[in-house]
Structure 1
Amino acid sequence: MPAKQMTVCFSGYRPEKLPWGYDEDDPRCAALKERLRQAVTDACEQGYRHFICGMARGVDTYCGEITLALRAQYPEITLEAAIPCPSQPEGWTPEQQARWQALVERCDYETMVQDHYSAGCMQRRNRYMVDHAQRLIAVFDGQEGGTRRTVEYAMRRGLEIVYVDME
């Protein structure tokens, strides 16, 4: 695995917590994706080469796809899928499952955090990402939930946090 000092992880909201929900054609979603692209580009320009994606719907997926798209400009970057458990995409629509699978297939590394679902597996995945990174790129506006716990854990671990505004 690449060195922690050269690694960035991502955290952010699932579509249910985003103002536009699942409508990625919404101009606010396009604007967020552009801000995320800039944050990932800035990390690349500063020497970061490895990125860890938690593979959830919403911001995680956006970040993974943006990182892969930036390979054209930065061919040396790598993307790791930090999958909380094998059943992560179960219950998603067929389109969401296909998008998840396509993203996993393009990753350079795949880390299965645990072999079965449990109440704490998403948090374990988040801790894994933070423990293996130096920087966190977060879409966070104070809402309760997994992103908040990830940001708080990253703060305790001393990661540099780059906040990306949702709107």
Structure 2
Amino acid sequence: MKTKTCCFSGHRELYPKKIPLLEKELHKIIADCIEKGYRRFLCGGAKGFDFLAAKTLLAHQNTYPEIQLEIVFPYHYLPSMWKEIAAKANSLTYLSETYYPGCFYARNRYMVSQSHGIIYYLEKETGGTAYTVRCAKNSSLALFPITLSSESEW
């Protein structure tokens, strides 16, 4: 049986006061996905939500050592903030040797094409996350949205 794969998508810029709530929701949704049989998780290697998702997933490896983190970079680079997490990841994938216009969208399409589900945090209907969620819906992926119950407080 093919390993069930789930990818992450979310915004690069996160409101600092939302981060603890996002992390709490990520923990719950990741645990739910693991219980549903997901074992491979793809993360896009950007700051913000991607970084938080990778860090949160790695915390689950203590309880679920069988889960795997693959970080998918759009081109061959490794931002300094990712070095520690990259060292703990099961694999790193570089989709291109160099940057080119559209490489981030190509990365997002790759992650969707490799996945059965998507965990996402979407605040606006424009940009890379909105594009990725539309691709996921068009590909009939299982959708695991993160919604913060106290959004009206922000």
TM-score, with length taken from structure 2: 0.91
Residues 48-68 of structure 1: per-residue CA shift (max 9 Å, x gap): 111000010010011101111
Is 1:157–2:136 an aligned residue pair? Answer: no
1:141 is displaced (CA, Å) by 2.6
Moved over 4 A (4+): none
Q: Pairwise mapping of residues 92-131 of structure 1 onto structure 2 (< 5 A)?
A: 97=80, 99-131=81-113
Q: Among 47, 55, 66, which residue is 1:76 paired with?
A: 66
Structure 2: distance between partners of 1:154 and 1:40 = 17
Q: Secondary structure at the match of 2:98?
A: coil
Structure 2: distance between partners of 1:69 and 1:34 = 12
Q: Amino acid of the residue matched to residue 128 of structure 1?
A: Y
Q: Secondary structure at the match of 1:158?
A: coil
Question: What RMSD, in angstroms, separates the aligned Cα atoms of the two structures?
Answer: 1.5
- Structure 2: any 5+ residue segments left out of the alignment? none
Residues 62-108 of structure 1: per-residue CA shift (max 9 Å, x gap): 1101111101111110000101112363xxxxxxx2x3111111110
Q: Amino acid of the residue matched to residue 31 of structure 2?
A: T
1:143 is displaced (CA, Å) by 3.3
Q: Pairwise mapping of residues 16-27 of structure 1 onto structure 2 (< 5 A)?
A: 18=14, 20=15, 23=16, 26=17
* Cross-structure match for 2:6: 8
Structure 2: distance between partners of 1:109 and 1:85 = 15
Is 1:44–2:34 an aligned residue pair? Answer: yes
Is 1:146–2:128 an aligned residue pair? Answer: yes
Residues 95-145 of structure 1: per-residue CA shift (max 9 Å, x gap): xx2x31111111101111111100111011101100000000010133310
1:32 is displaced (CA, Å) by 1.0
**Maintained 8 Å contact 2:7/2:112:** yes
Is 1:87–2:54 an aligned residue pair? Answer: no
* Cross-structure match for 2:51: 61
Residues 28-54 of structure 1: per-residue CA shift (max 9 Å, x gap): 210111001111010011111110000
Is 1:32–2:26 an aligned residue pair? Answer: no
Matched positions, count: 149
More strand by share: 2
**Maintained 8 Å contact 2:76/2:95:** no
TM-score, with length taken from structure 1: 0.84
Q: Amino acid of the residue matched to residue 75 of structure 2?
A: C
